[in-house]
């Protein structure tokens, strides 16, 4: 295992826990780790100076660069009117961090040990995150995160219960993604960890994680076994409705009336029984304000400073529109939808060799379902202004899809892995195909 891969495994493990440490002890570990990954990304870029990466990954980097440049332009144009320069520059650094993260993973994902070690680390991480949430609940370290909360919630090793539920579900899917990539059968240890995961998700008591889990599985089942979708959907609805989450989701029944009546134009807590009602009003307020500076926005990271509640937008696209205007929104949308294009780099070869519903294409189908679910979360539930960890997981999933682990090609005696060979190593395409740059 090379040094960069070892560092990345250590980094992703610590970074997954650092937000919770910062929340509890007021440290700045997350910011320090972001700066470290930028420096290591520069080293990885230097090591890759003679390597030609695939065109889709190159396009992803270009799109992210354009969006970052748009954010810098918004910062420069609004220099005199920006309320908090530190927050604005921190957002720029966050975008640079994501850029360097892509470069770093690009330099290691073809390593034979990438998928097996990612799987081991994330199984341990999923168990640890779930155990921390269970300990918080048993020790009474839960919290009412908002005025709408009806029960105290566990935040785990994250900054907020909603962030925790989002990260927890994505860690679970990365475990499944790497397991399916390696073609491992599900063992007793996996079942125990997944049961802990479900308990922790319930303790987070967030619609976000539950909806992401249900939508992703529904889309994945639809892609793999369409006939099973109605059964899964019915079972999922029954389980949710009979669980404590049922009351949480039932509050949304008045949302259509809230919109049609126009109550969202004026804030009144009496007509807004749930956080979703509050979000609709908040989006309306921020979009109305954004239309006063529609071209380049108010500057990165400024949303909470203009919000009447001093809160984030709870929608990535509304937030980007407010902070960087139409120019930033277009560049962000292009970057966002370049993610699935990068993940589908090898799709045609996989379909041609194995078929649309083969085991070899399952990881891609699972990641696409994840992406659609996270996109819905980004549209309606979370701003991603502070969800760096969750976005990092989504990016990591792309490289798990593209990786070609040797463990999936040759099966050792007594191993749980399938002997079916994988498609040819992606380095062939990356270094020699006409689509490489």
* Per-domain residue ranges of the chain: 3-432
Instruction: Report the distance separating Cα 434 and Cα 432, nearest Å.
Output: 7
High-pLDDT (> 90) share of the chain, %: 57
**Range in 95-99, 199-203, 351-355 the model is least confident about:** 351-355
| Residue showing tokens 């125990």 | 192
Residue-wise pLDDT for 18-48, tens only, equals 999 998 888 889 999 999 999 999 999 988 8
Q: What confidence category does residue 385 fall into, taking pLDDT thresholds of 50, 70 and 90?
A: low
Instruction: Report the distance separating Cα 397 and Cα 175, nearest Å.
Output: 10
Copy the structure tokens of residue 266.
């004026």
Instruction: Report the distance separating Cα 241 and Cα 250, nearest Å.
Output: 8
What pLDDT score was predicted for residue 407? 46
More confident residue, 326 or 263: 326
Residue 241, pLDDT above cutoff 90: no
Instruction: Report the distance separating Cα 165 and Cα 145, nearest Å.
Output: 13
Instruction: Report the distance separating Cα 434 and Cα 55, nearest Å.
Output: 9
Does this model's pTM top 0.85? My answer is: yes
What pLDDT score was predicted for residue 208? 87
Q: Is 87 left (phi over 0), alpha (psi -120 to 50) or beta?
A: alpha
Instruction: Report the distance separating Cα 309 and Cα 325, nearest Å.
Output: 21
For the chain, what is the radius of gyration of the CA atoms? 22
Scored b (16 or more CB within 10 A) or e, 410-421 reads eeeeeeebbeee
More confident residue, 62 or 381: 62
> Rounded mean pLDDT of 149-172?
89
Which backbone phi and psi does 113 adopt, to 5 degrees? -90, 5
For residue 186, what are the contacts with CB-CB under 8 A and spacing of at least 6? 179
**Range in 177-186, 367-376, 397-406 the model is least confident about:** 397-406
Closest-CA residue to 320 (of 333, 310, 309, 311): 333
What pLDDT score was predicted for residue 121? 97
Residue 432, pLDDT above cutoff 60: no
What value does the mean pLDDT of the chain take?
85
Copy the structure tokens of residue 318.
């509304």
For residue 59, what are the contacts with CB-CB under 8 A and spacing of at least 6? 338, 341, 342
> Rounded mean pLDDT of 79-93?
92
Residue-wise pLDDT for 172-209, tens only, equals 999 999 999 999 999 999 999 999 999 999 998 888 89
> Rounded mean pLDDT of 244-253?
66
More confident residue, 432 or 126: 126
Cβ neighbourhood burial of 131 (10 Å; 0-12, 13-18, 19+): middle
The CA distances from residue 91 to 15, 69, 227, 283, 339, in Å, are 17, 12, 45, 21, 20
Instruction: Report the distance separating Cα 128 and Cα 157, nearest Å.
Output: 9
Contact 381, 314 (CB under 8 A): yes
Instruction: Report the distance separating Cα 177 and Cα 43, nearest Å.
Output: 28
């Amino acid at each position: 295992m090379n040094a960069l891969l070892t560092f990345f495994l250590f980094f992703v493990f610590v970074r997954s826990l650092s937000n919770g440490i910062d929340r509890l002890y007021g440290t700045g570990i997350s910011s320090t780790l972001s700066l470290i990954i930028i420096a290591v990304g520069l080293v990885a870029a230097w090591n890759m100076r003679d390597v030609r990466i695939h065109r889709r990954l190159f396009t992803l980097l270009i799109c992210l660069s354009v969006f970052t440049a748009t954010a810098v332009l918004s910062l420069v144009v609004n220099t005199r009117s920006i309320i908090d320069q530190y927050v604005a520059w921190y957002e720029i650094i966050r975008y640079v961090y994501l850029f360097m993260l892509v470069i770093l993973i690009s330099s290691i994902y073809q390593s034979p040990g990438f998928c097996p070690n990612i799987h081991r680390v994330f199984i341990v991480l999923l168990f640890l995150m779930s155990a921390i949430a269970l300990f918080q609940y048993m020790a009474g370290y839960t919290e009412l995160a908002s005025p709408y909360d009806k029960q105290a919630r566990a935040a785990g090793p994250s900054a907020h219960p909603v962030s925790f539920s989002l990260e927890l579900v994505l860690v679970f899917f990365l475990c499944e993604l790497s397991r399916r990539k390696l073609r491992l059968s599900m063992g007793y240890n996996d079942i125990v960890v997944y049961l802990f995961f479900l308990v922790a998700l319930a303790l987070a008591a967030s619609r976000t994680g539950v909806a992401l889990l249900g939508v992703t599985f529904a889309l994945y089942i639809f892609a793999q076994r369409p006939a099973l979708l109605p059964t899964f959907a019915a079972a999922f609805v029954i389980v949710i409705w009979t669980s404590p989450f049922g009351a949480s989701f039932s509050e949304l029944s008045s949302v259509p009336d809230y919109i049609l009546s126009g109550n969202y134009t004026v804030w009144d807590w009496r007509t807004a029984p749930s956080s979703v009602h509050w979000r609709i009003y908040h989006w309306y307020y921020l979009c109305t304000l954004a239309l006063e500076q529609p071209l380049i926005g108010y500057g990165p990271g400024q949303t909470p400073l203009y919000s009447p509640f001093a809160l984030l937008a709870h929608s990535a696209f509304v937030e980007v529109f407010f902070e960087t205007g139409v120019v930033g929104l277009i560049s962000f949308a292009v970057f966002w939808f370049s993610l699935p294009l990068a993940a589908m780099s090898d799709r045609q070869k996989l379909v041609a060799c194995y078929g649309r519903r083969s085991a070899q294409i399952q990881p891609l189908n699972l990641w696409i379902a994840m992406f659609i679910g996270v996109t819905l979360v980004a549209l309606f539930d979370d701003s991603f202004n502070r969800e760096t960890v969750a976005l990092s997981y989504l990016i990591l999933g792309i490289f798990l899809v593209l990786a070609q682990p040797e463990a999936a090609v040759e099966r050792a005696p007594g191993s749980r892995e399938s002997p079916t060979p994988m498609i040819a190593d992606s380095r062939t395409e990356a270094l020699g195909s006409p689509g490489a740059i």
